[in-house]
Structure 1
Amino acid sequence: MKLVSCMRQALLIFIRDEAGAVNKIRVKGPSGFHEISCKSVILACGGFEANQEMRTRYLGPGWELAKVRGTQFNTGDGINMALAVGAQSFGHWSGCHAVAWDLNSPPHGDRNVADLFQKHSYPFGLIVNVDGRRFVDEGADFRNYTYAKYGREILNQPQRVAFQIFDQKSLDLLRDEYFIQEVSMIEADTIEELAIGLDINLKNFSHTISTYNEAVEPGEFNPTILDGKKTIGITPPKSNWAQTLDTPPYRGYAVTCGITFTFGGLKIDSKGQVQDTSDNPIPGLYAAGELVGGLFYNNYPGGSGLMSGAVFGKIAGQNAALEAMTPQRSA
């Protein structure tokens, strides 16, 4: 028995009946425009991360140039369709999940490489820009609590480029994504050769490394905990996992900003039902996943997007099904 139909058509607008319920979807298909009747609809079509115009409008200048980690089709259509019928916008519209992403990756996600363009072992090294200067605390916290906000920091650097620097002591700690064929990496026997290979400011880079090495406090390095092995007297500091960079070979990995999803979206209630601008539920309209606003502000703990999608997906699905089985809505 066929339970699911998949239609590759462009959704255009929702249509509401006299009671205010969403009861039709207007779509554009190969044969033209037509309408599909419905009793309930669930929006689960992502944020606006693949929409250059919306990224620039809401996230700010420069975001139109970010690479997109995933699909090119998450362009905010579901959000805009809901807003057009009175849905309430909600959440951190100028915020997003963005990470360090390989500089030479394609503009959108590659299903063959998947998430291996990400580069998340930076807590065990240093990050510098093309001027050879550091700009974040690489050891501020575990990777899961910093990686989703450091993409923005990279986007704000000259040429939207950064370089993750490691020496031989850290190579065994690098994640698998550092060893794929499609990696933008330079290896060198000296700091000077590394700077030349990466085409970054040699004088500044050499000064950054020497100053950092002098600032590293003694103590036991432990990559499994917040070890408190830090620097002193430099800005930005490195708060954990600070080891001197003095053992060749040295490696530099070129990264840019890769956007994952946007934080702004639609307001829902505990049933997953989309709210209007007066905080009333819109009958027949539900939402789940990345187009739900209000879940994340400024930062993001790793894995919580998957959890929220699963939780609100189940809630929205259950309540949309119950509403669809209701014989008649009251006005």
Structure 2
Amino acid sequence: MGTPASLASLKSIEWDIVIVGGGNAALCAAIEAREAGARVLLLERAPKPYRGGNSRHTRNFRCMHQGPMSVLTDAYEEEEYFHDLMLVTKGNTDEPLARMAIRTSESCLPWMERNGVRFQPSLSGTLSLSRTNAFFLGGGKALVNAYYNRAQDLGVTVVYEAEVTHINIEGDSFNSVQVKRDDEEAEISGKAVVLASGGFQADIEWLARAWGPAARNFLIRGTPYNRGEVLRDMLDSGALSVGDPTQCHAVAIDGRAPKFDGGIVTRLDCVPFSVVVNKDGERFYNEGEDVWPKRYAIWGRLVAAQPDQVAYAIIDAKSANLFMPSVFPAEKANIIAELAAKMGLPAGKVEETISRFNAACKPGAFHPTELDGLATKGIEPAKTNWARPIDTPPFYGYSLRPGVTFTYLGLKVDQTARVSNNAGLYRNIWAAGEIMAGSILGQGYLAGFGMTIGTVFGRTAGREAAAYVN
């Protein structure tokens, strides 16, 4: 375990399984394969302090269960889970793969606990997820550390700062990887490979080719190391692709976040209780369409479609404590015109927009954690839930920009996580996590579901690769 002195020292070892990537899916595959007796090499491109890919920024795992389990309350059964997925993907999913991920998630949670992951009850601001999502104690970084500790105990060999530049394939079979580390390059052989190296979202040029010039204004919430080299290499080698390069997990995040690696703390959860305007001071979408865990992931694309890819959420004092606090303090003022000026917005237009919204709000019961039907009347777009006037100072404002977590263009796999090509399936190439998530996430996103896909298919790929080797 750890980083060997040189890549050359790895060439003489007969590796059973080479795992490309170092996040949740890769670690699940490594643990399963090693427990099955395979000799496992894991190649993580990031330096050790940044190991774990996007997984270190996660906070929960969406899990099917037929009754209370661990920190999860009540029940969340297959049909409801699948219905929730269909709502956000609008049916753009591979149903057999989706149902496999959902069903298998139930057995994953106790497996995660056995391998050192600890969970905690939902916190204030996330109570609506207490039935559907199990939250990691210490967040994704703690999960990643737990899995690396488990892998070390099992004897998995890990190499950090190891960039895989090419997957060597002959016919339908993998035989080696080309690896670069500092100024050293090596070809390392293996009997099977699991690809778990993420999407291409950190390659801004690739994003811009897919989306157009607007993508240059996107912020990348996750790791800067997921640049899609392995994905591109596999597609160039004849692997079948799945998913649309313009589809991704993109959320509205704080516009002051860094270009890369800001993580989950940059997310803003205030939208359902706000009025959201673009740089011209105009509303453009229903802020109260559904509960935030089901709809938050559409807002990245909505903001991306606005001028300069920016929007602004405005709330009043009534709503200031109804959502998870932001990492950066909001702009604050006692009158709307002053707040608009602080955010660089046309004050008169914003005042007009807020006045029209307030006039359209009607009396009714307000319930912040459930669909309450408290809707506007007579304006477009309508706000269909949680529509209360923005009338109680102080007023607060946040800038919003699209924050991309991961892209959905990926490798096509079957239910054993084996990668497809034009002739059928590769004999000994598996994929797990974000690099194949587009098979299930054709569009949209469901909170915690990326971790579900990574855990289910990582475990599956590790087991299947080990069975092939054995």
Does the alignment reach a TM-score above 0.5? yes
* TM superposition shift of 1:144: 1.3
Q: How does 1:265-276 map to 2 (within 5 A)?
A: 265-276=410-421
Match of 1:152, as an amino acid?
Answer: R
Q: Which secondary structure does the structure 1 equivalent of 2:401 belong to?
A: strand
Distance 2:391 2:156 in 1: 61
Q: Matches of residues 204-243 of structure 1 in structure 2 within 5 Å? A: 204-243=349-388
Q: In structure 1, what is the Cα distance between the partners aligned to 2:212 and 2:429?
A: 30
Superposed displacement of residue 28, structure 1: 2.6
1:144 match: secondary structure = helix
How many residue pairs are counted as aligned between the two chains?
316
- Aligned equivalent of 1:116: 265
CA contact (8 A) 1:220 1:229 kept: yes
Secondary structure of the residue aligned to 1:5 is: strand
Hey, what's the Cα distance between the residues in 2 that align with 1:98 and 1:323?
A: 36
The CA distance in 1 between the partners of 2:396 and 2:455, in whole Å, is 39
- For 2:240, the equivalent position in structure 1 comes to 88
Which amino acid in the other structure matches residue 148 of structure 1? Answer: A
Q: Distance in 1 between the 2:309 and 2:387 partners?
A: 25
Alpha-carbon shift at residue 274 of structure 1 (Å): 0.5
1:146 to 273, 295, 300: 295
Secondary structure class of the residue paired with 2:212:
coil
Q: d(CA) in 1 for partners of 2:455 and 2:429?
A: 18
- What is aligned with 1:329? none
Equivalent residues of 1:56, 1:63 under 8 A apart? yes
Deviation at 1:52, TM superposition (A): 0.8
Of 151, 155, 163, the match for 2:312: 163
Distance of aligned partners of 1:167 and 1:7 in 2 relative to their CA distance in 1, 3 Å threshold = closer
CA shift for structure 1 position 8: 2.5
**CA distance in structure 2 between the partners assigned to 1:53 and 1:175 by the alignment:** 33
1:41 pairs, out of 193, 201, 205, with: 193
| Aligned equivalents of 2:168, 2:331: Cα separation in 1 | 56
Aligned AA (2:297): A
Give the whole-Å Cα distance in 2 for the aligned partners of 1:27 and 1:4.
Answer: 15
Q: Matches of 2:186 and 2:271 in 1, distance apart?
A: 51
Q: Does 1:291 align with 2:425?
A: no
- 1:133-191 CA-to-partner distances (Å, cap 9, x unmatched) read 11111100111121112111112222222111111111121312x2x3x34x2111111
Give the superposition deviation at 1:59.
3.2
CA separation of 1:84 and 1:234: change in aligned 2, threshold 3 A: same
Matches of 1:155 and 1:137, distance apart in 2: 16
Q: Is the 8 A contact 2:167 2:230 kept in 1?
A: no
SS of equivalent to 2:312: strand
1:328 maps to none
Matched, 1:15 2:15: no
Q: Which one-letter code corresponds to 2:164 in the other structure?
A: L
Deviations 1:208-229 (A, max 9, x none): 0010011112211111211010
**For the Cα contact (< 8 Å) 1:92–1:294, is it kept in 2?**
no
User: Residues 186 and 198 of structure 1 are in contact (CA less than 8 Å); yes or no, is this contact kept in structure 2?
Assistant: yes
Change (3 A) 1:30 1:299: closer
Give the structure with the larger helix fraction: 2
- Who is 1:69 aligned against? 221
Question: Given residue 13 of structure 1, which amino acid in structure 2 is its aligned partner?
Answer: H
Q: Which amino acid aligns with 2:429?
A: L
Aligned residues: CA RMSD: 1.5
Distance in structure 2 (CA, Å) of the matches to 1:297 and 1:194? 39
Q: Assess if the C-alpha contact under 8 Å between 2:413 and 2:439 holds in 1.
A: no
1:3 to 138, 142, 156: 156
| Cα distance, 1:301–1:5 mapped onto 2, change above 3 Å | closer
Contact 1:195-1:202 within 8 A present in 2 as well: yes
Asked if the contact 1:60/1:94 (under 8 Å) is kept, the reply is no
What is residue 283 of structure 2 aligned with on the other side?
A: 134
Choose the corresponding residue for 1:172, options 312, 316, 321: 321
The runs of 5 or more residues in structure 1 that have no matched partner are: 326-331
**Aligned with 1:101: secondary structure?**
strand
Determine if contact 1:198/1:252 at 8 Å carries over to the other structure. Answer: yes
What is the Cα deviation at residue 7 of structure 1?
Answer: 4.4
Gaps of 5+ in 2: 1-153
SS in 1 for 2:416: coil
Change (3 A) 1:164 1:320: same
- Given residue 430 of structure 2, which amino acid in structure 1 is its aligned partner? Y
Deviation at 1:30, TM superposition (A): 4.0
Please tell me the residue identity of whatever aligns with 1:120.
D
CA contact (8 A) 1:50 1:74 kept: yes
Query: 1:111-146: per-residue Cα shift (whole Å, max 9, x none)?
Result: xxx411110121011111111111111100111121
SS in 1 for 2:458: helix
State the TM-score, normalizing by the size of structure 2: 0.65
- TM-score under structure 1 length normalisation: 0.91
Whole-Å Cα distance in 1 between the matches of residues 469 and 194 of structure 2?
11
Alpha-carbon distance, 1:60 to partner: 3.4
> What is the CA–CA distance in structure 2 between the aligned matches of 1:55 and 1:245, rounded to whole Å?
37
The code of the aligned residue for 1:147 comes to Y
Q: Distance in 2 between matches of 1:291 and 1:206?
A: 45
Checking the alignment, whether the CA contact within 8 Å between 2:165 and 2:230 is kept in structure 1 is no
Q: In the TM superposition, what is the alpha-carbon distance from 1:31 to its structure 2 partner? A: 5.1
CA distance in 2, matches of 1:317, 1:60: 37
Which of 389, 394, 403 does residue 244 from structure 1 map onto? 389
Look up the SS of the partner of 1:62 in the other structure. Answer: helix
